[in-house]
Structure 1
Amino acid sequence: MDSLVKAASSSKISLPTLSDHVYKDDCMFSFDTPFDEGGIDICMTCFQALSRGKYNYTKRHSRLFKHDLFLNYRKTPKAIKPDEQPQKMLKLEIKEKTEDELFDLETAIYDASTNSSYDYPNNNLPTMIQLVADGILKATSSDKQQQIKAWRQEVKVCRHSKNISQSKNNGSLTACTDCGLEENLWLCLECGHIGCGRKQFGGVPGNSHAVSHNKEFPDHHVAVKLGSLSLNSADCYCYTCDDDVKVPNLSSLLKFYGIDIAHHEKTEKNLTELQIEQNVKWDFKMDGSNGEALNPVFGKGLTGFKNLGNSCYLASVLQVLFSIPEFAKAYYDSTDGVPESLLSRSSDPADDLEIQMYKLGDGLLSGRYSVPDKFTTEVVKYQRGIRPSGFKHLVGKGDPQFSTMQQQDAFEFWSYLVDQLEKADVRGLLDYSPVDVFKFVLETKIRCTKCGGVRLKKELDESMCLPVEEVDTRNRKLGKSDKVLLEQCFDEWRKGSQFEYQCPACKSRQMATSTQGFKTFPKYLVVNPQRIKLVNWVPVKLSVAIKFGEHLSLSQYRSDGKLDDERELPDDDKDKDDSGEITFNPDFLTALMGMGFTENRCKKALYNTANTSAEAAANWLFEHMDDPHIDDPFHLETSASAKQPSVSQQDIDSITSMGFAAQLAKKALILNNSNVEQAVNWIFANPDDDGKLPEPAQPRKTSEQQLEDLLAQPDMGGEYSLMGVICHKGTSIHSGHYVAFIKKHVDGHAAWVLFNDEKVVAVDESVLSEVEVSGYIYLYEKVAS
């Protein structure tokens, strides 16, 4: 008790303020939670959550930062008592239960300096310790705070919802005009027509008569769901844009039909609630060819994710990434967990991408969390699933798509995450970035059809986007199978395209062909068949079955380079100015901008198509519209030197004014991304640090250097074996549900495993037929030729 009195009188513990992040959901470095044996320890100094599990992060945190007092925090779910079902549900009322209603909570004060625990609440404890403990218990957890922010859905006004011209309809507002259905009713804001909506997940009835009304009257664009109306909610949908929309002056528009929203009560779930419920509960086929439920599997590399509402796109991508051996080697250390150097590096582990990758590696690969959920009452015991909320918040921070809780495109997220890992140079235990295993070189050949001259351009890539619609359309015209072969998609890609070209040899505009081929083959090939097409600028998913094999041979798609009978076209001096910067063809740039693309996007497209034609650039833009960094400023990489970390002199001066050395201030700022407050906290946590920066890691190579390195490697052939597929079920990539099928070793033999959030089951070959209609991202591993 003496150590507690001493700690209470020191300045190391303090009450959490509204600006403090209080972590209460899981350990900063592992997925140990308050529900696990021993619970978690919440630091009473910095409010980070630690665990005394396998790696004893509580002890390591105490030793590194001299933070000794913790609130031990343990939860046990209360037994659920079945409530009586009322005879008739008059209205839907959504209430969030309190922690006291859901869990039994046990707390204690843990002193790491003496390895002692004290029961809490306890009036004999020093007053300051009691106040801090109460403050932690009352604080909203950081995870909950981020969820609240992320659920603020950004529904926007569309051009159809801006100007709504109304006409009176004297029909009933209580039933569908066409079928008499009395729920799931949609009011046309143009004419007051009442039609039932589409049939919804969870048994919500509907005969789509509101959709039929829009087809009959195409200029009646926007409808509102009557059951969703209240002062705080309203579902408005534009059938022309095929999306949720915001309607200005909705209240006055509704009054035109005699509806006072101020006195209207919400009686049905809105679209967001229905979508979340669907994504959480929507199962892919969970039984085998004999009709029996597939058995869940457990063990190392077989851990599931808890669905956070709309997080299945993220979970499926992470499952496939961490099935790659290089990612496992980079981010999983079964002996030490998160390395000591990382534990002391950052004052906020939740803001460190490398730490979050280590946390995921331990969570997914260790097998510690791949155990049956002992709290569930279901007959089939699946896993509880680890919650990737910290990683999701960090990796999506600042991005308009991935910072929300809405469903996102899995391939867009794959590309975005790979880009983030490369930009941050997050190598883990490797001396190279694990994302390098996806890189390969494509060669584009432009050939003038008049003079036969060719121009070759090599570029670095890390995934293949394959055409699907063209193949499907041709197959149907020829009366062939309704299935598209994956090899047909590669054939279509290889065919290339024709376009008008200003030939530097002919000195006139000619027709030219553009084809691509592999110059090198990656260790792991990421393939994305383009199941999405734009209809009136609205992305629509193609319902096309793609037949694939577990073996893929790509040698026939190798680039043939310049053939003996071909001559290279002369360089066009007009492409560059005196400074060496590229000069864009003004006619091409004007034509592209006239199509509605930004100047920045147009320049990127022209650069990536060798400034050949507006048509080629437009095709490139259509293929790359969803790239996560398409709107980053365009610039050419001109220097091979790595960017040196820098901090402002003003920030250094503000810290040295507190009495700290300039060298120590600079190091603290660099390690904490120039955040002065975090830098000062780091200095207090590391008072004996000498201020010397660690030796910089080997600088990241430029794209040009990586391309040259790949070209210098021996050709290992283009034979591949399928190791994973991310599948999507639903009509739109931005809704529906994602799962992953991955080839794993189960009970000593290779088997396909379905990762459907926390449901992880071994599947037989019959389930793979579902992949044909829902496969979205395919991962192939190179094998010996």
Structure 2
Amino acid sequence: MTEELSINLDSIVIPTSSSKVFKDDCMFSFDTAFDPNGLDICMTCHQAFSRGEFKYTQMHSEFYNHDIFLNYKKIRKINNKCEIENDEQPKKMIKLEIKETLESDLFDIKCSIYFQKLNKSIEYPNNELPLKVSQAVESILNSTSSEKKEEISSWELEIKPCKHSLNLIQNPISNLQLKKCNNCELNENLWICLHCGNLGCGRSQFGGVPGNSHAMLHEKENSDHYIAVKLGSLSTDIADCYCYSCDEEIKVPNLSKLLKTFGIDITKFIRTEKSLTELQIEQNIQWDFKMTVGNNNEELKPIFGKGLTGFKNLGNSCYLASVLQILFSLKSFKDAFFNLNGIPLDKILGNFKPYEDIETQLFKIGDGLLSGRYSKPDNFTTETIKYQHGIKPSGFKKLIGEGHNEFSTMLQQDAFEFWGYLIDKLEKKKIYGQLNNSPTDSLKFILENKIKCKNCNFVRIKNEITDFINIPININLLEKDINGNEIYEETTVNESIKSWKLPEIFEYSCPKCGNLQEAIKEVGFKTNPQYLVINPQRIILKNWVPTKVTVPIKFDETLSLKDFKGNGLLSGEEEFIDEEGEGEEITNEPQFDQNVMNSLFDMGFTENRVKHALFATGNKGAEIAMNWLFEHIEDPNIDKPFKASINVNKKENNFVDSEKLESLSNMGFTELISKKALILNNGNVEAAVEWLFNNPDDDGVIEVDESNNDNNDNYNDVLLKKLEQENDSSGEYQLIGIICHKGTSVHSGHYVAFIKKEVEIDGNKEKRWVLFNDEKVVLAVKENMKEVESSGYLYIYERI
């Protein structure tokens, strides 16, 4: 080795098994080891950088004085059948036969030691290298990358027992047989009823698995026979168990003992069929979503270019991918997180752990999606049509979900709930990117909530800043087809907003009348947002189970809000105004029992809904919260990010009406807790009494973070004035994006995004609908848009 390439051994750090080693993509871009320059893995901090367009390796070296890198390149091998093996684009994930595959079986790996300051490299292995360098290199090469650790866990589904599997009673039938379905000739996809032993075929499944649903028919004829087990799945380490009542895959305690009732010894069974988990994984990876059209099943045409980059599915990450595709199609998010010159310097300098910084990850995604550098055909696949390889948002997914009960897992999640969670996270952390204000401000608008006493015409008007509306779907069941599928009458977004706008009659404690009166509650738009987000409420309760309905919503590309404005104060009405003003918002986050939350999660309820229910019922347990959820499943605010907010006046002595306080005190409640109950329930005595009985152990203390609330109040005041000043009176909108969901449950199935884009076709630019189905980005056709009608889950309109 020449003297000019002498190595400072003190700068070399040998990673241990607990060290973070990044070798999947660059910290600031989606360049990978498959690119011509490979990746440069810092031998001091073990982060990966690239020498691509933006010279991130050089920047890291100069900013942090880390000079020595392991240059790491992968070249895909071609096997004897001339098919290209590529573990980064699995066509199927099959667990029936598990064998360890080494990287060296799939790739040729080339390494060298790169000295950045001298711009010199020496090949590795090299006998002239000091032992410490060789040890560090081997440790890096043999380590499991941070991304791969996430991928390993991404295929694990958390399946838990349900209440029906905990107290299972067995009564075996007399004609027990395990050869074929009791109702037809099928001898595969067989499910045994764990209550009586009846053998029935299952539903037809993804991948061509046949089924006539006779196991489900048996449960309908025997309403307390909830649990069935798939015979072909049985082995000592896995078994498919399903609860028809919960409509979920579950675990059954003491399954081996229960099966022995029917003469089945699980230790002697050899698994012959794919499990539901494997079928779900294949479905998530391969979901076509009409990727072929016409009688000849012609594949849709992939397109490439700036703003046309797809995401690689990380297992069950399509909910996240569809949300990010929509957000980064909005001008405010492009302006905030896309820089033509790559990651801004201030996110590289002084940002030693970019993998822990959400804003950096957003800039990385902005560059990946919008630059066009990664939107090119992936020639290393066996598919005839060459789609993209797709960028992997692994770092962002891990970081944004940290600490969250659902988004930190690798299970499929609700895209709309993730949308709200992400928006809320960006606002709380004040992540503005290159803007002076939040990019989420473009989603904000003012809703007018008006309550009018029918007795005295006293009116109370409250203006609320929000960033979406939940609208009911007009459900009219027409018939069922020969397969039992429900056929619904078509509706429109416009009709659903009309239903949302309808006045509501309720009992109201009128401040002028001084007692309960009938009142009319109305809601309407006071301002029009730049982007209007609408969530049709497709989740309804069927047999006490949250189920998605496929009511077709007519595909209309325009929407007018002119008929949905708030009415304001009308002639003959008198507005009630608090003497102390609207007050300030105080947040007091309660503590919930995690075991209770988990049991409600298992029933299919989302975190926001669970928290709303537990807070409303005084944290009294899963059953009480579940009953509350069933009663309030259609509440318009049920999916809003949970925040235990109370509206109080700044002068503590004027928080509540003294007469109401006295009435509660006369019932035996202390003044402190009575005051809190009234504040939490906006002065409604009946609701306060219910809250008091649900919260007998509450200490009545309201914690206030004055400084934080002052900041939030100031920001909201500024935003309120800004929205009022910028309001557009026309209220005309055009549809620019839709997130669609296929499947009966939001916790399974598949999400895709349709976005109106300007694309170049035959040399001409025109606006067309583009389908983003993970890494597959294609021009949509009429058949696709027809599917949107029954699967549209989140609609995004832009103000004209």
User: TM-score, length-normalised on structure 2?
Assistant: 0.80
Residue equivalent to 1:781: 798
Partners in 2 of 1:200 and 1:475 — Cα distance?
24
Find out whether 1:600 has 2:615 as its counterpart.
Answer: yes
Residue equivalent to 1:29: 28
Asked if the contact 2:560–2:733 (Cα under 8 Å) also holds between the matched residues in 1, the reply is: yes
Find out whether 1:500 has 2:491 as its counterpart.
Answer: no
User: How many residue pairs were aligned?
Assistant: 689
Cα drift, residue 136 of structure 1 = 0.6
Find out whether 1:93 has 2:97 as its counterpart.
Answer: yes
Residue equivalent to 1:568: 575
Residue equivalent to 1:120: 124
Higher mean Cα deviation, 1-10 or 507-516?
1-10
* Residues 1:242 and 1:637: Cα distance change in structure 2 (over 3 Å): farther
Residue equivalent to 1:411: 416
Cα drift, residue 288 of structure 1 = 5.4
Residue equivalent to 1:727: 740
Residue equivalent to 1:138: 142
1:517 is matched with which residue: 519, 524, 533?
524
* Residues 1:624 and 1:374: Cα distance change in structure 2 (over 3 Å): same
Asked if the contact 1:444–1:457 (Cα under 8 Å) also holds between the matched residues in 2, the reply is: yes
Report the AA paired with residue 496 of structure 1: P
Residue segments in structure 1 that go unaligned for 5+ positions in a row: 85-90, 584-594, 605-613, 640-697
Find out whether 1:738 has 2:743 as its counterpart.
Answer: no
Residue equivalent to 2:767: 750
Asked if the contact 2:427–2:440 (Cα under 8 Å) also holds between the matched residues in 1, the reply is: yes
Residue equivalent to 1:374: 379
Counterpart of 1:498 in 2: which secondary structure? strand
Cα drift, residue 738 of structure 1 = 1.4
Partners in 2 of 1:234 and 1:542 — Cα distance?
29
Residue equivalent to 2:161: 157
How do residues 306-705 of structure 1 correspond to structure 2 at under 5 angstroms?
306-335=312-341, 337-469=342-474, 472=476, 482-569=489-576, 598=613, 600-601=615-616, 619=632, 622-627=635-640, 629-630=641-642, 632-634=643-645, 701-705=714-718
- Give the percent of matched residue pairs that are identical in Structure 1 and Structure 2: 51
Cα drift, residue 615 of structure 1 = 11
Higher mean Cα deviation, 507-516 or 380-389?
507-516
Partners in 1 of 2:514 and 2:749 — Cα distance?
52
Asked if the contact 1:475–1:482 (Cα under 8 Å) also holds between the matched residues in 2, the reply is: no
Counterpart of 1:545 in 2: which secondary structure? coil
Cα drift, residue 638 of structure 1 = 8.9
2:788 is matched with which residue: 749, 771, 785?
771
RMSD of Structure 2 on Structure 1 (CA): 3.2
Cα drift, residue 765 of structure 1 = 4.4
Partners in 2 of 1:708 and 1:104 — Cα distance?
61
Cα drift, residue 598 of structure 1 = 4.6
Partners in 2 of 1:504 and 1:389 — Cα distance?
54
Residue segments in structure 2 that go unaligned for 5+ positions in a row: 84-94, 481-486, 589-609, 620-626, 651-709
Counterpart of 1:199 in 2: which secondary structure? strand
Report the AA paired with residue 240 of structure 1: S
Report the AA paired with residue 99 of structure 1: E
Asked if the contact 1:167–1:190 (Cα under 8 Å) also holds between the matched residues in 2, the reply is: yes
Partners in 1 of 2:618 and 2:437 — Cα distance?
31
Partners in 2 of 1:450 and 1:616 — Cα distance?
32
Partners in 1 of 2:502 and 2:374 — Cα distance?
48
Report the AA paired with residue 793 of structure 2: Y
Asked if the contact 1:288–1:763 (Cα under 8 Å) also holds between the matched residues in 2, the reply is: no
Cα drift, residue 523 of structure 1 = 0.5
Write out per-residue CA displacement over residues 591-612 of structure 1, whole angstroms, 9 at most, x where no aligned residue: xxxx9975624699xxxxxxxx
Write out per-residue CA displacement over residues 624-655 of structure 1, whole angstroms, 9 at most, x where no aligned residue: 4444x42x55456999xxxxxxxxxxxxxxxx
Cα drift, residue 290 of structure 1 = 8.8
Partners in 2 of 1:580 and 1:396 — Cα distance?
27
Partners in 1 of 2:529 and 2:441 — Cα distance?
9
Cα drift, residue 289 of structure 1 = 6.6
Counterpart of 1:552 in 2: which secondary structure? strand
1:200 is matched with which residue: 202, 205, 209?
205
Partners in 2 of 1:581 and 1:781 — Cα distance?
33
* Residues 1:727 and 1:20: Cα distance change in structure 2 (over 3 Å): same
Counterpart of 1:726 in 2: which secondary structure? strand
Cα drift, residue 581 of structure 1 = 7.8
Partners in 2 of 1:398 and 1:750 — Cα distance?
40
* Residues 1:449 and 1:426: Cα distance change in structure 2 (over 3 Å): same
Counterpart of 1:484 in 2: which secondary structure? coil
Report the AA paired with residue 419 of structure 1: D
1:301 is matched with which residue: 299, 307, 313?
307
Counterpart of 2:575 in 1: which secondary structure? coil
Report the AA paired with residue 300 of structure 2: L
Partners in 2 of 1:199 and 1:386 — Cα distance?
33
Asked if the contact 2:155–2:281 (Cα under 8 Å) also holds between the matched residues in 1, the reply is: no
User: TM-score, length-normalised on structure 1?
Assistant: 0.82
Write out per-residue CA displacement over residues 453-495 of structure 1, whole angstroms, 9 at most, x where no aligned residue: 221111111011111045x46999xxx9921021101111110
Partners in 2 of 1:245 and 1:290 — Cα distance?
39
Partners in 2 of 1:220 and 1:570 — Cα distance?
58
Residue equivalent to 1:229: 234
How do residues 204-215 of structure 1 correspond to structure 2 at under 5 angstroms?
204-215=209-220
